[in-house]
Amino acid sequence: MQQLTIARPDDWHLHLRDGALLQTTVPASARVFHRAVVMPNLVPPVTTVEMALAYRERIMAALPAEMTFEPLMALYLTADTSVAEVKKAAADRRIIGFKLYPSGATTNSAAGVKSVEALAPVLEAMQQHGVPLLVHGEVTDKEIDIFDRERVFIERHLIPITQQFPGLKLILEHITTGDAVDFVSEANENVAATMTPQHLLMNRNDLLVGGVRPHNYCLPILKRREHQLRLQQAALSGNPKFFLGTDSAPHVQANKETSCGCAGCYSAPAAIELYAEFFAQHQALDKLENFASVFGAAFYGFEKNQETITLSQSPWQVAATLDTADGPMVPYYAGNTLQWQVSE
C-alpha cells in the first residue's frame, strides 16, 4: 500500500451554514483541515465583527472534543460597511477579511454589492490596515452569458481594483476560467486564487451531458474543458498564487433535486481525497502538500501546520447520501470511487 504524509492542510474557502447542520459540517471539515476561512453568507449575513464572533462560538460548540479546528471568519461586505468596521476587523486575529459578493451572484447573496466602484473608501482602509478582500468574481447582468460572468468581472472590476489598490491583498475565489488564471498569474504579489475540487476534476459536460446533474451544479458554473485544462495546469505548476479552497457548500437533497435547484457542491466529506485524486491522475502527488498545506498559509501570513495527515492508496466509495438534522444530503462525488483516503 502506498502512503503519502503531508502537513495538515487548510481550507481557504468553506461554507458551514448554521444551526443544527453545524453538527454535520464542522466535524466533516475538522477531521482533516486545521484552519478554514468560513463564509459569511448566512441569513441574515454576517456583516460585523460581533456577529462573526458569535457565529464562531456556534461553530466551536459543534466541534467534537477530540478534534482541533480554527475557523477564520470572513465578514460580508456591503454598501454599508464602514471604515470603522474595517479597523475593528484588522485588530482581531479571528477575522480573516471581507467577502465581496455581487448582489444575486450565488446562494444568499441578495445583500451583496451593487456598485463595486462605491467601495473605494472601504478598499482603501482595507489596504491600509492589511485586511484581505475575498472575491466572488462574477457579474450578474442579465445580458451577460453565465459562462462569461467571471471574465467580464475581471475586466470590469478586478483589473481596476488591483491598479487602484496595489497593496490590497485580494483572493479571487473558486476560479473557473483561463481568464482568471491569466489575471492572477499576471497580477502583483498581493493577488492569489483558490481552486475547488469540482473545477479541477470536471467541466460542463459533467453537468449537462446525459441529463442535468444537479449535484455538480455550483456557482461559478463549470466551464468548457479548455478552461478546466488551464486550471489544471495552474494547480500543477507549483505557482504559490494558486491553492486549496473547497467552496464546500452543503444543501439538502430536496433543495438540489427540484425544479429550481440551488448551487453548491458539498465536498467536505472527501475533500482532501478529491484533491489527491486529481494530483494522482496527473502523476503529481508530490505537489499536493504545497497546494493544500503551504501556499495558502503563506499568502495569508500563517506558518505551515506542524501536525501531519497520512493518505493511503486504498479505494473507497463516497457515500450516496448523508443523514443530517436538515434532511438527507448528497455529497459531491456521491457513489464514485476514490483511490486515496486519510488513514485514521
> Is 136 annotated as ligand-binding?
yes
Summarised one tens digit per residue, pLDDT across range 165-221 is 999 999 999 999 999 999 999 999 999 999 999 999 999 999 999 999 999 999 999
Distance CA 290, CA 238 (A): 8
Residue 9: the pLDDT is 98
Catalytic residues: 247
Taking 80 as the threshold, does the pLDDT of residue 108 lie above it?
no
**To the nearest whole number, what is the mean pLDDT of the chain?**
96
Segment among 65-79, 111-125, 250-264 with least mean pLDDT: 111-125
Query: What are the φ and ψ backbone dihedral angles of 211, each rounded to 5 degrees?
Result: 115, 155
Assign 110 a pLDDT band (cuts: 50, 70, 90): low
> Is 251 annotated as ligand-binding?
yes
> Is 17 annotated as ligand-binding?
yes
> Is 41 annotated as ligand-binding?
yes
3-class DSSP string for the chain: CCEEEEECCCEEEECCCCHHHHHHHHHHHHCCCCEEEECCCCCCCCCCHHHHHHHHHHHHHCCCCCCCCEEEEEEECCCCCCHHHHHHHHCCCCEEEEEECECCCCCCCCCCECCCHHHHHHHHHHHHHCCCEEECCCCCCCCCCHHHHHHHHHHHHHHHHHHHCCCCCEEECCCCCHHHHHHHHHCCCCEEEEECHHHHHCCCHHHHCCCCCHHHCCCCCCCCHHHHHHHHHHHHCCCCCEEECCCECCCCHHHHCCCCCCCCCCCHHHHHHHHHHHHHHCCCHHHHHHHHHHHHHHHHCCCCCCCEEEEEEEEEECCCCECCCCCCECCCCCCCEEEEEECC
> Is 182 annotated as ligand-binding?
no
> Is 263 annotated as ligand-binding?
yes
Contact present, 237 and 219 (Cβ < 8 Å): no
Residue 305: the pLDDT is 98
Q: What is the dihedral of CA 163, 168, 172, 178, to 10 degrees?
A: 30
> Is 219 annotated as ligand-binding?
yes
Share of the chain above pLDDT 70, in %: 97
Which fold is adopted by the domain 10-304?
Answer: TIM Barrel (3.20.20)
Half-sphere exposure of 281 (CA within 13 A, CB side): 14
C-alpha cell at 27: 466535524
Query: What are the φ and ψ backbone dihedral angles of 272, each rounded to 5 degrees?
Result: -65, -30
Residue 103: the pLDDT is 74
Residue 186: the pLDDT is 98
Residue 115: the pLDDT is 78
Residue 78: the pLDDT is 92
> Is 99 annotated as ligand-binding?
yes
Opening angle at CA 246, ends 245 and 251, nearest 5? 145
Residue 285: the pLDDT is 97
Summarised one tens digit per residue, pLDDT across range 270-310 is 999 999 999 999 999 999 999 999 999 999 999 999 999 99
Taking 90 as the threshold, does the pLDDT of residue 68 lie above it?
yes
Taking 90 as the threshold, does the pLDDT of residue 111 lie above it?
no
Rg (CA), the chain: 19
Segment among 74-78, 112-116, 331-335 with least mean pLDDT: 112-116
Taking residues 109-130, what's their average pLDDT? 85
> Is 215 annotated as ligand-binding?
no
Taking 70 as the threshold, does the pLDDT of residue 98 lie above it?
yes
Taking 90 as the threshold, does the pLDDT of residue 107 lie above it?
no
